[in-house]
Amino acid sequence: MDALDEKANGGPPMEVEEIVSVHDHEAFAAKHMPDLGHEVKDFQVFTWRLTNWKKLEKKITSPEFECGGHKWRILLFPFGNSNAPPNDTVSVYLDYADPKRAPEGWHACAQFALVISNIHDPTIYTVSHAHHRFIAEECDWGFTRFSELRKLFSVQDGHSRPTIEDESADVSVFVRVLEDPTGVLWHNFVNYDSKKETGYVGLKNQGATCYMNSLLQSLYCTRYFRKAVYQIPTEDDHPTESVPLALQRVFYHLQTSDQPVGTTELTKSFGWKSLDSFLQHDVQEFNRVLQDKLESKMKGTKAEGAIQKLFVGKMKSYIKCVNVDFESSRIEEFNDIQLNVKGMKNLYESFKDYVAVETLDGENKYMAEGYGLQEAKKGIIFQSFPPVLHLQLKRFEYDIQRDTMVKINDRHEFPFEIDLNEFLDETADRSQPWVYKLHGVLVHSGDLHGGHYFALIKPDRETRWLKFDDDRVTPVTDREVLEENYGGEVMNGMVPPMQRNQVRAMKRFTNAYMLVYIRESAIDEVLAPWKDEDTPAHLKRRLEEERLQMEAKKREREEQHLYLTAKVITDQTFSEHEGFDLATFDERNWPATDLPSFRVLKNEPYSTFKSRVAQHFNYPENQIRLWVLVNRQNKTVRPDTHIPENEPQLTVEAIRNTMAVRQQNDLRLYLDIIPDPSHPEIPPGSIMIFLKHFDIANQKLTGVGKVYVPRASKVSDLIPIINERMRWTPDTPLKLYEAGGEIKPGMIELMKPKLTFTQSEIQDGDIICFQVDMNEKELHDFEAQGMYSNPVQYYDFLQNRVMILFKPKFEETDQDHPEFHLTLSKKQNYDVMSAKVGERLNWDPIKLRFTTTHSNGTPKSVLKRSLNQSIQEIMSPTYVNPQTTVILYEKLDVSIVELETKRSLKVIWTGIHNKEESAHPFLLPKTSSVHDLAVELAKQIKLTPTGTGKIRIFEVSKDGKTQKEFTGSEMIGNIPDPVELYAEEIPQEELEADDADKVISVFHFSKEVSRTHGVPFRFVVKPGEKFSETKKRLQARIGVSDKDFAKYRFALIQAATFKQPSYIEDEDTIYDHKFAPEDVLGLDHVDKSGKTRTGAGEKAIVIRG
């Protein structure tokens, strides 16, 4: 029972409160039950008279009454619900009567007011109101602290009698059962099943990609598009490397899964690392890049042309003379239309604004070829709209005053249906009406710096509108599709007092930023019913196999507690093992040995398990014996006892619990092969010893099997046995060491040959390490080469060895920049590491620079060679679970000694014609000036023989529109890193410009001002010069052929307006424009450099795959 202690009758003291009687049901409800904006299905009032209040039971219920097809009653605790001491309150609730008889999955949405009133004067009362979704788990709702008892029994200010008089009172409930057309009103979404309720599932949110989710859902519901994506052949692709396959998989999972679908594979296939996903790109750019990508993959397949057919329309920009028959026009294709929101009341007005005609007259007349200056009309008209129309509402714009992007939350209405006929050229094909139906609304809630995205989609004519909000899909009302996403003031006026809370105030930041309309005549084709054969068989097959694998894995996880893993060490694995013990199990800096493993039911009899092992290793059962390994006190893991063969009841779990004490979840075993099965017993009084050979020449430690020796024999008795096994001459002198003695696993000590094994405290499973004995000189020679001369030193190396992964810092991995592991000792230092990496890369170690990394793999800090730290210090203690240490390397052209006092810079030379001609690396003392850099650059480039001979070094501004020039005196050591430097030859024209001329900035962009490319430059504008002349000088300045230059368009970009760029005509004189410092000239042409910049400091979206 939830407490909602609201008091609704305490207005400001000066207000004269209108007195309402509880008996006046309509007026009472109007005063105390605010309109929640939902349709009322039924309204009932029920009153229950109570007498002898003080003698009432602790908990009582009223008779039942009906409202909205449900049975209700009042639940009253006259002295408070004992769950809420002190016992001096009244608790009262609305209770759903007999929920057990209600149909399964029932719910009722009710708004209600509970009232206790005086039986003689119904204007004296105490009231509280609430609303709730009544369900089986929450079938009563109301007020635990409805009122203090003493207040109800005493006369309150302004009244002549108490609420409860003579121990009698009326308890009433006013109930409005509300319509719940979507079935999810006030739903808490615990155990909500999107698939069951709507037939659709959501997408998981992967960080700042929710506009991606809303767009993907919209594209998925565009069934013609989904079908086309499915037609791209992807049988041989890998999902994280192929965008089409990853998208097919997302679509298939949306189609078949009953759980929300992940998009990690898809973003991986774009080549996005998680960081990129978080750089919030805009949906339009994302959509274009995705479609370009798919379009190129559709070439030559059944799907070719599908994107063009679905999403591409045509528009015409024109200038038409009024008094003579002359028109200049160009036709362009578009994938989406960007419409203004600011100052526009609705979508129709935004379209009118888009095709608005501008009159060129007076000083602004147009120079028409062959006709001279003419009055003209300038504008855009549509030639055709695509079947699926994507409209981008410009909710995000640049605000010059604040010098930042802002979100426009103005109200902007859009309809379920719009006729676009009037925006089409008279030549357009009108055989079918140009009526469009709303299919999708993509919504952004919040401000510029984040917020939340979701989509509202009507998947086809029959299906209702649905809200796709990341992992949840819910039905919505028409009001939630339109009204709630227009933006602007909330609820058009006063917010009722009960709702003056944050949730409502936020509403105004929730509005549509993209609309999807489908042409009515194309709906049946675009949203055609989905047929089974539309899903490619290869995809079904592949994903069905994966699903079965996943289910098997899930089953395996669920049944995990019934199984344990048995790991088996064999003589083969022992011989390949380089390290302590017989195998590595859980060492911090070294991977575990890959051992043959068996998944065994805990209650499996040992005999069954043994025969499985025998079969696996191809031995008759009577030829094998299994030993259990235990963790000894000194942390070594050694065979302890062999498993008895004669106990039929023995299970695998019993073995683990009784024989392998202090063991992990797995059972660790040693496979002992019996040489002569007719005499399987171990000779009495003998122990099993494992042997390891330390090969000094090859610096290797290898297992060479085991031997049984009598406890009482001498250590030196092993020597002939070893020589025979190694096929050495019988008198080869050996030194023997006990490995991993009683102290700790890394310990190893020389054994005394004359002692017995018992005296040497050797037991079953111990390891003895041997090496050929050499004279001092030979040993000294090995040590002089930096080699270990005995197992003691080698064991010390093992104790300290670590595996480090080296990766290139800036390059993608390739032949020259491989990714590789090296084994080093923590005791070694920087110099040894750089020498080993240099050897591996075939590169001078002094020209390698290393950078440590954070645990997520990003660069941390550059290692200084001068410190010559140990590997232990370089690895620095990570308190998280130690994963592999990753160190990044750079192959430099200069020694790092030099680099520590010098600055390495790269300058891109753009010459006299603003072309990226060449890149020049420099390494200069940090104290050099930018002027010194220019002097050095001049030695490497060719200047125009008759030119100015002057070089300008500059950076490009963040938005890509202007140059940031250096004065020349700056020290290069102080230029912040990273930096992109450019240099150009200053043209004669600029140097000779006089006071009357203006020098302006010019930049390159493609279609949209934010899609800048190339390098901005400076240009002289002369007074009185028509643009037709200015253009010729521009062409000469940037050195572009006539053929290419004919495709250029020129626009004046004013920072101070929200307007689209104003394109310049030949007759204009741009000198006459009053240039504000940020105003620039833009050259609109296709980017051939492939180096698009996007928006201020944003990365352009690149989708690889």
Task: Kindly list the strands in the beta sheet with 358-360, ordered across the sheet, starting from the edge strand earlier in the chain.
Answer: 327-334, 313-321, 376-384, 358-360
Give strand ranges (E) for 446-574: 452-457, 466-469, 472-475, 510-519, 563-569
Give strand ranges (E) for 149-190: 169-178
Spatial separation of the C-alpha atoms in residues 664 and 770, rounded to whole Å:
31
User: Which residue among 187, 452, 817, 931 is the active-site one?
Assistant: 452
- The two structure tokens encoding residue 699: 């610096």
H or E element at residue 624: strand 624-631
- The two structure tokens encoding residue 190: 């615990």
Give the residue among 414, 387, 388 at the shortest CA–CA distance from 512. 414
| DSSP 8-class letter at 446 | S
**Tokens 């609420």 belong to which residue?**
163
User: Which residue among 67, 139, 210, 221 is the active-site one?
Assistant: 210
DSSP string, 42-76: EEEEEEEEE--GGGS-SSEEPPPEEETTEEEEEEE
Distance of CA 44 to the CA centre of its chain: 51
Spatial separation of the C-alpha atoms in residues 420 and 315, rounded to whole Å:
13
Spatial separation of the C-alpha atoms in residues 936 and 972, rounded to whole Å:
13
Which letter, b or e, does each residue of 233-272 get, where b requires 16 or more Cβ atoms within 10 Å of its Cβ?
A: ebeebebbebbbbbbbbbbbbbbeeeebbbbebbbbbbeb
Distance of CA 690 to the CA centre of its chain: 52
H or E element at residue 405: strand 404-407
Spatial separation of the C-alpha atoms in residues 193 and 259, rounded to whole Å:
8
- The two structure tokens encoding residue 793: 């030193």
Spatial separation of the C-alpha atoms in residues 942 and 808, rounded to whole Å:
34
CA angle 536, 538, 543 (to 5 degrees): 100
CB contact set of 939 (below 8 Å; sequence gap of 6+): none
**Tokens 């990044």 belong to which residue?**
888
Spatial separation of the C-alpha atoms in residues 653 and 659, rounded to whole Å:
10
Query: Phi and psi at residue 866, in whole multiples of 5°?
Result: -60, -25
Spatial separation of the C-alpha atoms in residues 417 and 188, rounded to whole Å:
33
Active site residue 452: yes
CB contact set of 834 (below 8 Å; sequence gap of 6+): 845, 846, 848, 850, 865
Identity of the residue numbered 140: D
**Tokens 């003689």 belong to which residue?**
120
Identity of the residue numbered 78: P
Rounded CA Rg of the chain: 41
Helix (H, G, I), strand (E, B) or coil at 161: coil
Q: Long-range contact list for 590-598, CB < 8 A, 24+ apart?
A: 590/801, 590/802, 590/803, 591/803, 595/567, 595/568, 595/569, 596/567, 596/568, 596/570, 597/565, 597/566, 597/567, 597/568, 597/666, 598/565, 598/566, 598/568
Rounded alpha-carbon distances, angstroms, from residue 887 to 273, 592, 828, 855, 868: 19, 22, 15, 11, 15
**Tokens 């008892």 belong to which residue?**
149
Spatial separation of the C-alpha atoms in residues 299 and 951, rounded to whole Å:
46
Q: How many CB atoms lie within 10 A of CB 443?
A: 24
- Catalytic residue positions, numbered: 210, 452
